[in-house]
């Protein structure tokens, strides 16, 4: 069946319908990862967005549910150059086509994703519609496309109830703003007892459990939208509990301390982004998925100092808070998919908790 991708600037791509056969309007973003499409599909940070995969062949190793980063798939839609018809992998349990239908995700294949990605890089992230309906008049459709915005996605993706991953080591409170499973798993593998809290949990409840450390997770959407959560994050900052924050958590901590965030032209999404440790000068290849960044011009040295920068564009990728056992990064040390270069940051967090005893 024919399908169309209509962008808010009026550009139309024609391809083949994949997944669910329904119309959807979403924010169109691209990911440059060569593998890990299942982890991308199940990353809650993509809630409210339609993902373009720049790698031309997707689905060739099928679906292995053990690799899912959450209980379900989150993107509004999925856009690929070519979808593999027959997966080849001894771990494969299903095809990506069936997976998209299972989670009611519409998509389009057979379009020039290279041209689409270049367009998004030149003009910036745009909204778009994926539809099987052939519109003769695009004016009304374009108004609807332009009106779309990503809203309320943190509370949509967070856990609805607190739960615990048992461990014999340090007690870590993980604030779930749309967390990938591998964050809790990375802590659990290091012996930590991880208690996962819903995003809107009051700081008083978290601190009353006397955690050894607090983890602020990744998540979707505009960080500034989360005004109530930001107030609770400030209370966590004011405590003396060591804190490690990733991605959205990094942005929320910055906003809680008077810094500003802004939307990047087309974001950083993929498994090949170089970040530089400003203390050592060492460069790490990182997994990233974010459309917003902390404005470096608003970082006050009395509050925090830059710890990492993006080698490609110089944007802030991490902060070390002055006089506090708090550090935050914009990228994903838990990877999945992506390089494992930055896994040592979890070990740094453990040492912070030990020193704080």
**pLDDT of the residue at 207:** 98
Locus of tokens 């902060």 = 319
Select which of 247, 268, 273, 336 is catalytic: 247
Same domain, 94 and 173: no
**pLDDT of the residue at 138:** 87
Same domain, 170 and 135: no
- Per the structure, how many domains does the chain have? 2
SS3 content of the chain, % helix, strand, coil (to 5): 30, 30, 40
Same domain, 61 and 146: yes
Select which of 250, 317, 332, 336 is catalytic: 332
Looking up residue 17, the CATH number of its domain turns out to be: 3.50.30.20
Which of 93, 116, 150 delimits the end of a domain? Answer: 150
Tell me if residue 192 is catalytic: no
Instruction: Please give the residue range of the domain that contains residue 74.
Output: 2-150
39 phi and psi angles, rounded to 5 deg: -65, -35
Same domain, 39 and 179: no
Reported confidence tier of residue 130, pLDDT bands at 50, 70, 90:
very high
268-309 pLDDT, tens digit per residue, is 999 999 999 999 999 999 999 999 999 999 999 999 999 999
- If DSSP codes are grouped into helix, strand and coil, which group holds residue 95? coil
Looking up residue 270, the CATH number of its domain turns out to be: 3.40.50.880
Tell me if residue 332 is catalytic: yes
What is the DSSP-derived secondary structure letter of residue 78? Answer: E
Tell me if residue 334 is catalytic: yes
Reported confidence tier of residue 265, pLDDT bands at 50, 70, 90:
very high
**pLDDT of the residue at 237:** 98
Whether residue 148 contacts residue 127, with contact meaning beta carbons closer than 8 Å, is answered with yes
Which of 95, 124, 150 delimits the end of a domain? Answer: 150
- H-state helical runs in the chain: 37-41, 96-102, 113-123, 139-147, 153-157, 181-188, 203-208, 227-238, 248-256, 344-355
Which of 100, 117, 150 delimits the end of a domain? Answer: 150
Whether residue 315 contacts residue 293, with contact meaning beta carbons closer than 8 Å, is answered with yes
Same domain, 83 and 146: yes
Same domain, 247 and 136: no
325-357 pLDDT, tens digit per residue, is 999 999 999 988 878 889 999 999 999 999 876
Binding positions for L-glutamine = 45, 219, 221, 248, 251, 289, 291-292
**pLDDT of the residue at 140:** 87
């Amino acid at each position: 069946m024919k399908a169309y991708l209509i962008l808010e600037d009026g550009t139309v791509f024609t391809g083949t319908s994949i997944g669910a056969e329904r119309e959807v309007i979403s924010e169109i973003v691209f990911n440059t990862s060569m593998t890990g499409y299942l982890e991308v599909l199940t990353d809650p940070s993509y809630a409210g967005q339609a993902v373009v995969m720049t790698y031309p062949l997707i689905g060739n190793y099928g679906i292995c549910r053990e690799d899912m980063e959450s209980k379900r798939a989150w993107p509004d839609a999925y856009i690929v150059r070519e979808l593999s018809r027959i997966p080849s992998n001894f771990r494969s349990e299903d095809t990506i086509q069936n997976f998209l239908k299972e989670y009611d995700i519409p998509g389009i294949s057979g379009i020039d994703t290279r041209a689409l990605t270049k367009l998004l890089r030149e003009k910036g992230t745009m909204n778009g519609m994926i539809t099987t309906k052939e519109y003769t008049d695009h004016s009304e459709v374009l108004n609807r496309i332009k009106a779309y915005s990503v809203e309320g996605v943190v509370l949509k993706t967070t856990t609805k109830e607190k739960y615990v991953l048992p461990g014999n080591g340090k007690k870590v409170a993980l604030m779930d703003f749309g967390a990938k499973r591998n964050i809790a798993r990375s802590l659990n593998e290091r012996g930590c007892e991880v208690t996962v809290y819903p995003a809107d949990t009051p700081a008083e409840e978290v601190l009353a459990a006397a955690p050894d450390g607090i983890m602020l997770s990744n998540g979707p959407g505009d960080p500034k939208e989360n005004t109530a959560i930001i107030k609770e994050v400030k209370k966590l900052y004011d405590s003396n509990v060591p804190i490690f924050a990733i991605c959205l958590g990094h942005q929320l901590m910055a906003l809680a301390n008077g810094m500003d965030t802004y939307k990047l032209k087309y974001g950083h999404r993929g498994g090949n982004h170089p970040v530089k440790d400003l203390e050592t000068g060492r460069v790490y290849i990182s997994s990233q998925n974010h459309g917003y960044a902390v404005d470096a011009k608003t970082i006050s040295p009395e509050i925090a100092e830059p710890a990492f920068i993006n080698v490609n564009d110089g944007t802030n990728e991490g902060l070390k808070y002055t006089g506090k056992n708090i550090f935050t990064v914009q990228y994903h040390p838990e990877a999945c998919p992506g390089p494992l270069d930055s896994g040592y940051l979890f070990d740094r967090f453990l040492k912070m908790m030990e020193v704080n005893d």
